[in-house]
Every structure is written in structure tokens, then in C-alpha cells.
Amino acid sequence: MSKPDIKQAAIRDVTFGVGVKVVEPSNLYGCKIGDDCFVGPFTEIQKGVVIGARTRVQSHAFVCELVTIGDDCFIGHGVMFVNDTFSTGGPARGRKELWRETVIGNRVSIGSNATILPVKIADDVVIGAGAVVTKDITTSGTYAGNPARRLPGRS
């Protein structure tokens, strides 16, 4: 019988600003977390991710490589970021050149269990719980659904 290669959740090679609070267990590595941020338990933030000041990342969130999140944001419970668009019809399988970046503006709130594909999201946007963001959002407002669409009459 073979033994698995077991990796422990850890916090390593992270640049933290002042006043950051992290609740364990969390798996953070090679990322940058700005001043006065909060990271909830059961969260993974991968290498190269940059999170701006005063941003809250709630429990069970997954923030993959190539994601930048602005200042004063809220990332709800269970939010998933995706960097592989399956552009070849399947997973990139380690071909990082096929991955795409995500850039989240300032003062963006993303509701629980939303999925964010590689997109750019403008400042002052609210993404509803469970939404799937498949395209860039260039106008502030409230967006919900699958795919996420701007809700009329909301700013």
C-alpha cells in the first residue's frame, strides 16, 4: 500500500499589512494582504494574489492565482474565483499560459457562493449571492443571476 504526499494547510510567504486578522485553518501562500484586512477560516488564497486594504474575505472562499482585489471590498462565504476558462475544451492541466486574470475594483461586494470567472469588475459594484460573473462589469450597480446581469433601477 502506498502512502500519500500530505500537505498541511499553512500560512507561508505572505506579505501582510498592519492590523490583519486571519482565522485558521487557512491556506495562504505567496500572496499580499493589505492593511486592516480580515480572512476567515477554511479560506485559500494562492500565490500572486493581491488583496487591498480593509477588505474582508469570509470563510470557505477560494482566491486563485492571477486575482487582484481592490480596497474596501467584501468577499462573501464560499466565493470561488476561477482562472482557467477551459479554452482548449478541458482543464489547462498545468499550462498556466492559458489562465486569465481577474481584477476586482474598490468597494465591491460579492455575495456568498458567487463564482467569478476571469473578468474585470469596476468600482462600486454589488454581486448577488450565487451569481456567476462571466463577463467584464464596467458600470457600477447591482448584478445577480447566472450569468450575472445588472438589475434595473439599482445603483
Greater model confidence, 98 or 37: 37
Residue 95 lies in a domain: no
Domain membership of residue 50 as a residue range: 11-86+100-150
Residue 6 lies in a domain: no
Residues 6+ apart with CB under 8 A from 79: 58, 61, 62, 110, 111, 112, 113, 114, 115, 116
Residue 4 lies in a domain: no
> How far is it, in rounded angstroms, from Cα 46 to Cα 4?
22
Average pLDDT over residues 95-117: 95
User: What confidence category does residue 100 fall into, taking pLDDT thresholds of 50, 70 and 90?
Assistant: very high
Residue 150: per-residue pLDDT: 97
Residues 6+ apart with CB under 8 A from 93: none
Residue 5 lies in a domain: no
